[in-house]
Amino acid sequence: MARSMTAFARQELVKDWGTLTLELRSVNHRYLDVSIRMPEEFRSHESKIREKISAKLARGKVDVGLRFARTETSSGEITIDKELVQQIANASREVDHILYNPAAVLSLDILRWPGVIKSPELDTNELTTALFELVDDTLKDMLEGREREGEKLAELISQRCQSISEVIINIKKRLPEIMQIWREKLLTRIQDASVEVDENRLEQELVIIAQKTDVDEELDRLATHVVEVERVLKDQKPIGRRLDFLMQELNREANTLGSKSIDIETTKASVDLKVLIEQMREQIQNIE
């Protein structure tokens, strides 16, 4: 199954203790490259998150962004860090001895100091469970997005394969006609030159031309590669690298076909093939 490397997924989990928001962004990359941004209190879970992503994705540059907003409680007992308040008070008195005109420190100013009012302790196990539940859901959402886009890419590639097959069929049909045209051209040149024709030598020259310009092998390999592309598109494993290799092989055969061409229509067909192959290659750069 073709799967795109470009996708975005965002999930939010709301609990009594706060809100967890996770964003996953994925773009093209030769290998799997995971970058994670998260609050420090979740940093210990980074390796596990990487493992989960690596188990589901094979390629792509993945940016992971986790945000956590605690619920501000408007009721209940306010717990003060008395030790921190004492430290602040001691520091304030030391400053008073230095200043000429010290101002009084208001208690409300101290309460606004970070950490003076203690936040209620969170259940670590519950928080961890919620985090990985969110990771699984968001990763599933991203995979579904990559698969949907991959299906569209596979359709586009399949259409190009069909067009390539049609070009191959048309060239094969014209091969006998091309040789007949060249036979007539050669006879015309000989007649224009008023040279006596040796039929045996003429046939030998035509055989040599036929051997040098024989493209049956190239056409057969092109057709075989197209069949392989169609087969690979149905594989359930990552297929991007395999398809990229097949594009190189298709392009090589199309180039050889053009170099052997002795007919303008065959040359044009070779160019058409290379255009179709390049269009496929551009789409394949997005496939995992």
Q: Which pair of structure tokens corresponds to residue 42? A: 């979740």
The residue ranges of DSSP E strands in the chain, in sequence order, are 7-15, 18-27, 32-37, 60-70, 79-80, 117-118
Strands 32-37 and 60-70: parallel
Q: Domains in the chain and their CATH numbers? A: 7-73+123-147 (3.30.230), 79-118 (no CATH), 148-284 (no CATH)
Given this model, what pLDDT does residue 111 score? Answer: 62
Q: Which pair of structure tokens corresponds to residue 52? A: 């989960």
Q: Which pair of structure tokens corresponds to residue 266? A: 């065959």
Given this model, what pLDDT does residue 215 score? Answer: 76
Beta-carbon count within 10 A of 40 CB: 6
Quick: pLDDT tens for 156-187: 999 999 999 999 999 888 877 766 666 666 66
Quick: pLDDT tens for 233-274: 999 889 999 999 999 999 999 998 888 777 788 889 899 999
Distance CA 143, CA 135 (A): 12
Nearest to residue 2, comparing CAs of 140, 159, 148? 148
Long-range CB pairs of 28-34, under 8 A, 24+ apart, other chains included: 28/60, 28/61, 28/285, 28/286, 29/5, 29/59, 29/60, 29/61, 30/59, 31/59, 32/57, 32/58, 32/59, 32/60, 32/62, 33/60, 33/61, 33/62, 34/62, 34/64
Quick: pLDDT tens for 215-224: 778 889 999 9
The amino acid occupying position 16 is D
DSSP labels for 92-118?
A: HHHHHHH-SSPPPPPHHHHHTSTTSEE
Strands 117-118 and 32-37: unpaired
User: Which of the 8 DSSP states describes residue 197?
Assistant: -
Distance CA 174, CA 15 (A): 71
- Cβ contact 64:35 at 8 Å: yes
Mean pLDDT, the chain, rounded, equals: 84
Q: At residue 68, does pLDDT exceed 80?
A: yes
The amino acid occupying position 150 is G
Best-predicted range by mean pLDDT among 47-51, 108-112, 188-192? 47-51
Q: Which pair of structure tokens corresponds to residue 234? A: 């149905």
The amino acid occupying position 98 is I
